[in-house]
Amino acid sequence: MRCGMHRYERSVLDALRKRKQLDLIGLIDATGIGRDEALWALENLSAQGYVDLKREQSSEALLTNEGKEYAMSALPESKMLARLKEGTIEIKGLRDQQERLGFQWAKQKGLVSIKNGSILLGEKGVTASEKGLVEERVLRDLAKDPRAYGRLLKSNSAEVGELRKRGLIEIKEKNVLATVSITKKGISAETDSEDEGIGALTKSMISGGSWKGSKFKGYDVNVPVEKTLAARKHPLAQNIDDIRRSYISNGFVEVSGPVIDSAFWVFDALFQPQDHPARDVQDTFYLEDIEAQEIRNREYISRVKKAHTEGWHYKWDIDTAMEPVLRTHMTSVSVRYLYEMLSNINSKKYELPVKLFSMGRVFRNESVDYRHLADFQQTDGLVIGKELSFASLFDTLIKLYSWLGEVKFKPAYFPFVEPGVEMYAFSKERDEWIEMGGAGVLRREITGMKRKDLTALAWGISVERLMMVRKGGDINSITELYNGSIGWLRNRKLM
């Protein structure tokens, strides 16, 4: 059988005819060609049935930045042992975080003891300081040769496990080529050369035009390659960008406000009574030794007080309203801007409709589960305009969040809107409808708008929950977004 072959392919077959079987390093030595060239030739020959490739799973340990630092110097507990050889150390005399870390590890490993507030070198610590810590030797061996991981895992599994747990090494799994064998078809193949064609365009070929009329070497796009760990955005950051893009493309303007705010803006300005259950410590984080920003407009305070007194029939307290809290929703940002725009809206100086949105962290004292967090992201929207109705609210939300898939609305009560609804979207991962947030028409006790021809629509939606139901997502619990797993970030599919 005659076949035209590239010189790399011919070199590989000639070497294998002499040795029958080789590993990759042996093949490179026998042929004198580079690693990438040898792998390219092997994939081509394998596709034609001339060689058999045997692959194996291989692991190697890569040192993190902290691991590299310790490999070059010493582990914190090793430095602690060296200092203790000079004498005892008082616990309160530990100089920095590194020494405190070294003491903690030395104590955990039983290398030191404590007596009367002083750190003493234990018998086990004396031996370790003389012979050196085994885990330190393992770390340095891995620094020299990451492929020693497999061998060290057998001989020093406990030390390797500790280094992984401490975040000093990361394990990288690889599918490596173990051996190459020539087949009968490869032995009988004739290796005449042919016009190989151009494999790579050079600057001189392009400028001189020598490539014109030439044959180009083909490429096999199915050849397996080593996985590339490209940079990518965190899925939560990507989701926030997508939401922001949806708002801006629909004519909204982004606004922001303080994370630490007064109960006045978080609750009172939103017509939520001061004895409402949501204001209890069980739901809200109250702060000590912090003063909330003063509200200088006494007229606005009087209007809020009047709305509470006449609407809820109780004695409204300014001191309760000024208690500092971590904001529980982003609507406190929306109502601030509504207050700032009010005089211009009433005097018809604003071009309508006004469309605002905000995005940020909010805090609620809740038990953590698959759809609840104590610290999470929320987006809030506000539209003020003429001839707006409840149907306008539905239309706006569906347009903004069309990428969610199927959504539905359910009547609900919120103190600051009338009427109000909850927005739900369907999660295929959990096979259930999940509440996204609340929405409604803002009450006039809140807006303070004197113009009867204007209506204000508002909503607040959990950003993390949006990720549980969006098309292409694979989030089964919002806690996954905060687990810090590099493997999860690298391997999850893009949305």
Question: In the chain, which segments carry CATH 3.30.930.10?
Answer: 238-259+327-491
Does position 82 have pLDDT exceeding 90, yes or no?
no
Q: Give the CATH fold of the 63-173 domain.
A: Arc Repressor Mutant, subunit A (1.10.10)
| Residue-by-residue DSSP string for 405-447 | -SEEEEEEEETTEEEEEEEEEEETTTTEEEEEEEEEEEPHHHH
- pLDDT at site 173: 79
CB 123 within 8 A of CB 112: no
Q: How much is the average pLDDT of 362-383?
A: 88
Q: How much is the average pLDDT of 58-87?
A: 87
Does position 343 have pLDDT exceeding 70, yes or no?
no
- pLDDT at site 360: 94
Q: How many whole angstroms separate alpha carbon 246 and alpha carbon 269?
A: 28
- pLDDT at site 4: 57
Q: How many whole angstroms separate alpha carbon 97 and alpha carbon 83?
A: 15
Q: How much is the average pLDDT of 293-313?
A: 84
Q: How many whole angstroms separate alpha carbon 183 and alpha carbon 204?
A: 40
Token couple for 231: 């940079």
| Residue-by-residue DSSP string for 318-365 | HHHHT-EEE-S-THHHHHHHHHHHHHHHHTT-SPSSEEEEEEEEEE--
C-alpha to C-alpha distances, 129 to 68, 82, 137, 322, nearest whole angstrom: 21, 7, 13, 59
CB 17 within 8 A of CB 189: no
Highest mean pLDDT among 112-121, 345-354, 463-472, 485-494: 112-121
Range with lowest mean pLDDT among 251-255, 312-316, 481-485: 481-485
- pLDDT at site 3: 46
Does position 348 have pLDDT exceeding 80, yes or no?
no
Q: How much is the average pLDDT of 378-405?
A: 89
Does position 494 have pLDDT exceeding 70, yes or no?
no
Q: How much is the average pLDDT of 284-295?
A: 78
> Residue written as tokens 């292409």?
472
Q: Which of 312, 308, 311, 288 is nearest to 300 (CA)?
A: 308
Question: In the chain, which segments carry CATH 1.10.10.10?
Answer: 2-55+174-194
Q: Over the chain, what is the mean pLDDT? A: 84
Token couple for 180: 């190459």
- pLDDT at site 381: 94
pLDDT band at 411 (very low <50, low <70, confident <90, very high): very high
Name the percent of the chain lying above pLDDT 90: 19
Does position 410 have pLDDT exceeding 90, yes or no?
yes
Token couple for 345: 């809206």
Highest mean pLDDT among 144-153, 279-288, 293-302, 393-402: 393-402
Range with lowest mean pLDDT among 59-68, 72-81, 228-237, 328-337: 228-237
Secondary structure class of 72 (helix, strand, coil):
helix
CB 357 within 8 A of CB 380: yes
Highest mean pLDDT among 45-49, 282-286, 356-360: 356-360
Q: Which residues, 6 or more positions from 444, have their beta carbon under 8 angstroms from its beta carbon?
A: none
Q: Which of 463, 475, 398, 467 is nearest to 437 (CA)?
A: 463
Q: Give the CATH fold of the 2-55+174-194 domain.
A: Arc Repressor Mutant, subunit A (1.10.10)
Q: How much is the average pLDDT of 223-234?
A: 73
pTM of the predicted model as reported, rounded to 2 decimal places: 0.58
Q: How much is the average pLDDT of 116-122?
A: 86
- How many CB atoms lie under 10 A from the CB of residue 154? 8
- pLDDT at site 1: 37
Q: How much is the average pLDDT of 466-474?
A: 72
Give the architecture-level CATH label for domain 238-259+327-491.
2-Layer Sandwich (3.30)
Range with lowest mean pLDDT among 19-28, 32-41, 196-205, 386-395: 196-205
Q: Which residues, 6 or more positions from 376, have their beta carbon under 8 angstroms from its beta carbon?
A: 361, 362, 364, 462, 463, 464, 478
Could you give the angle at the alpha carbon of 360 between the alpha carbons of 241 and 298, nearest 5°?
A: 135
pLDDT band at 191 (very low <50, low <70, confident <90, very high): low
Does position 195 have pLDDT exceeding 60, yes or no?
no
pLDDT digits (tens, 9 = 90+) for 24-67: 888 888 888 888 888 888 888 888 888 899 888 778 888 988 88
Burial of 330 by CB count in 10 Å (0-12 exposed, 13-18 middle, 19+ buried)?
buried
DSSP 485: -
